[in-house]
């Protein structure tokens, strides 16, 4: 007798999307299209686009968004897929917080709290960034950051960060 197959269920992951080089708006829109094409993954929601000033960096304003994925990819496989999309848009990493054509970050992956040499979950600075919290709350008003708490409770801490909804 063969053992019963174990059902694999999708987990919910939130992806931060941003860019400030080239046609950042078109790049973010293309990244959203590419996220929808990832294997074993469904793009289940996406925020509108926002313009924000760089945080802890120089350069032009960013275009930002957050995507909600339901995926069966492991965190590291998902990260590799995101980096492939970044590379397709010419992403370079000359130094920390350098201006970029595209930045895709796993903000959270279900309720996983995890860290190794290449990935920390949830994203260690997501609770400190208006460009993450506001689009996240647009698509997930009850979002909870694992180990931190309700995302909406963190808005007061980022109220001094300028963010503008794009048309």
Query: pLDDT tens string for the chain (167 positions)?
Result: 555 555 568 999 999 999 999 999 999 999 999 999 999 999 999 999 999 988 777 788 999 999 999 999 999 999 999 999 999 988 766 566 666 889 999 999 999 999 999 999 999 999 999 999 999 999 999 999 999 999 999 999 999 999 999 97
Asked if 145 and 108 touch (Cβ cutoff 8 Å), the reply is yes
Asked if 69 and 13 touch (Cβ cutoff 8 Å), the reply is yes
State the catalytic residue, choosing from 30, 60, 70, 105: 105
Residue 60: phi and psi, rounded to 5, are: -70, 165
Query: 1-11 burial, b for 16+ CB within 10 Å, e for fewer?
Result: eeeeeeeeeeb
State the catalytic residue, choosing from 34, 51, 91, 129: 91
Question: Is 110 an annotated catalytic residue?
Answer: no
Query: 91-110 burial, b for 16+ CB within 10 Å, e for fewer?
Result: beeeeeeebbbbbbbbbbbe
Q: What is the C-alpha separation between 89 and 92, in angstroms, rounded?
A: 9
Q: Taking the model in full, what pTM does it have? A: 0.92
State the catalytic residue, choosing from 34, 51, 103, 129: 103
Question: Is 61 an annotated catalytic residue?
Answer: no
Q: What is the C-alpha separation between 78 and 53, in angstroms, rounded?
A: 27
Amino acid 54: pLDDT? 85
Question: Is 103 an annotated catalytic residue?
Answer: yes
State the catalytic residue, choosing from 34, 51, 100, 129: 100
Query: Phi/psi class of residue 118: alpha, beta or left (left: φ > 0; alpha: ψ in -120 to 50)?
Result: alpha
Question: Is 96 an annotated catalytic residue?
Answer: no
């Amino acid at each position: 007798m063969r053992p019963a197959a174990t059902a694999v269920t999708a987990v919910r992951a939130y992806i931060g999307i941003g860019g400030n080089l080239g046609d950042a708006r078109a790049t973010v829109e293309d990244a959203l299209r590419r996220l929808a094409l990832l294997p074993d993954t469904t793009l289940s929601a996406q925020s509108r686009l926002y313009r924000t000033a760089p945080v802890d960096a120089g350069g032009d304003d960013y275009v930002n968004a957050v995507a909600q994925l339901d995926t069966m990819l492991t965190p590291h496989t998902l990260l590799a897929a995101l980096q492939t999309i970044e590379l397709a848009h010419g992403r370079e990493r000359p130094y920390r917080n350098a201006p970029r054509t595209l930045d895709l970050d796993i903000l959270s992956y279900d309720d996983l709290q995890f860290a190794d040499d290449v990935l920390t979950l949830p994203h260690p600075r997501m609770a400190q960034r208006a460009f993450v919290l506001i689009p996240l709350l647009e698509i997930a008003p009850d979002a909870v950051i694992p180990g931190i708490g309700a995302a909406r409770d963190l808005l007061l801490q980022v109220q001094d960060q300028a963010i503008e909804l794009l048309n």
